[in-house]
Amino acid sequence: MLDAKVAELLNVQVNKEFYSAYLYLDFSNYYTEQGLEGFANWYKVQAQEERDHAMLFLQYLQNNGCKVTLEAIDKPDKVFSSFADPLHAGYEHEQHVTELIHTIYEAAHNVKDFRTMQFLDWFVKEQGEEETNAEGLIKKFDLFGSDARALYMLDSELAARVYSAPSLVLS
């Protein structure tokens, strides 16, 4: 049985991951409206990843006999005035999610819940990748976004991103 605080934090994370999916779908919608289908695709794939992250947390809780409570998912409320705005908001959001994962990890560590810590190891690594990808996208946009041809090429590059489900063994 999981420690009550650890279980609560994991349950909250389920909802935070679903919110992340909503947020990235909102980014995707923005880029679709702007005619940047590659950027829209990149965030659509990102939304799929976040949804699967939520499902991994949910399954972990269920596998450990914990009740999962699904809360209402907040409506994304970002307003964008430039193509770069969602990129910066995405990077900030990934940093926030990293903090959330670290908080759960710390709580698990405090009660010597090594199984949950091992489960979270994948997410710690994943968040490092998420932040690197988000920051890299900002750097590419900063380099190429002001040139219409370069922006078109970057958009085409992002259109090629495909989704691959995470391979994580749950216990």
Please give the Cα distance from 118 to 142 (Å, whole number).
Answer: 37
pTM equals: 0.93
The rounded distance, in Å, linking the Cα atoms of 142 and 78 is 21
Tokens of 85: 């705005």
Q: What pLDDT does residue 171 have?
A: 61
pLDDT in tens, 42-53: 999 999 999 999
Neighbour count for residue 104 (Cβ, 10 Å): 24
pLDDT confidence bin for 168, thresholds 50/70/90:
low
Mean pLDDT of the chain: 95
CA 73, distance to chain mean position in Å, is 15
Could you tell me which of 2, 1, 17 has the C-alpha nearest to residue 93? 17
